[in-house]
Structure 1
């Protein structure tokens, strides 16, 4: 029968082990902080090139669409704080909800639209995911008042005849050509307060509320919730 005697550590070794353990814990804390802050630490704003009006061409599919189909647009005007885009006529599948909690409403609406593209439709047809996930927000009269949310998935031109939804709360909609003032930014945005801050920055950049509709605005997300870095989000104000 063999017995193993534990080797006693010297005070110097114990201090060294404690120090190493503290360094490991600190590294873990810093890593979690980076993940929580996400793109805010690493996002680099896309450089905007201003073109004369006679050189404006339709925009190629942006990298932030992540190889998903997304609406075509061209940049009409740009500055350090926004782009004015012109979108071609588009088709969308939408659902609406009233509530106070933006995150909860977003999750509920997303699941309804995701079910539609996964086959909960008249043709039981699966449809590829697109970008962005667009939410129209009509703010309530106060922080304790309900806001009205409408989430929409873009219907790609590859879907020539979108199937009718079987859920009565899901509808197909068409949008004519429109222009939008767009602010771009990175990071995770789940709370309405975070989106409001970005909307306020867009208001400052445009500096003229007569140019856009003030009674509502859109949030646009382009990434899976599992994506940690290089996330892309937008705020849209629809031009008058």
Structure 2
């Protein structure tokens, strides 16, 4: 087991470059958009990776629903409208990757859960994104920036699959006594709904304190 100490802080402080754009080391799952969220790998664990993300601006909407898939579909439609002109400037904004769904890990019991669906704003609009016309859509600074624990998987990002992936990642992290925010996670998709093969999805948990990596 490797527990990172002050070295992570130094590494993160020294990292430079844009947080959104075209990577000089493109990942195989960057295939459908010209720009995407860049990250800096810190270390690898058993079936997961620890990454650093710089701060970024996203457009987001909250959707209440008993069903995750319904909430995601409704949220995507609202955000797509914003990106295609439903904003104060009336401009089209390029779609980037990934899009992210914040999911509460606690049970909502007999009431609908609240999901936060977010699209990444491209680099050209990071500092001057137009205000949404829809009052349920807003621009937000990313709360995902910093050190994240990431597990990748393929296929469709449907509710039952993403929930199982999040649960499996929690078990992996608990087995190495990792410190992370276990109240919620992010479901992350890099592909459009019309892509059926070679899809790439991720589940993210936010690190609390220093990350722990276990090498086989």
Q: How many residues align?
A: 188
Aligned to 1:194: 161
Structure 1 partner of 2:19: none
Higher relative contact order (CA 8 A, sep 6+): 2
2:152 equivalent among 169, 184, 200: 184
3-state SS, counterpart of residue 103 of structure 1: helix
Choose from 55, 74, 86 the match for 1:89: 55
Cα deviation digits, residues 3-33 of structure 1 (max 9, x gap)? xxxxxxxxxxxxxxxxxxxxxxxxxxxxxxx
Whether the 8 Å contact between 2:100 and 2:186 is mirrored in structure 1 is yes
Where do 5+ consecutive residues of structure 2 fail to align? 1-6, 17-22, 209-216
- Aligned twin of 1:37: none
Residues of 1 paired with 2:177 and 2:57: CA distance?
28
Aligned to 2:197: 229
Change (3 A) 1:157 1:209: farther
CA separation in 2, counterparts of 1:163 and 1:206? 39
1:64 aligns with 2:32: no
Deviation at 1:80, TM superposition (A): 3.4
TM, length-normalised to structure 1: 0.72
Deviation digits for residues 186-228 of structure 1, max 9, x if unmatched?
A: 01122x2221110111112222565111111100011111111
Greater CA radius of gyration, 1 or 2?
1
Q: Distance in 2 between matches of 1:216 and 1:194?
A: 16
Which residue number in structure 2 is paired with residue 219 of structure 1?
187
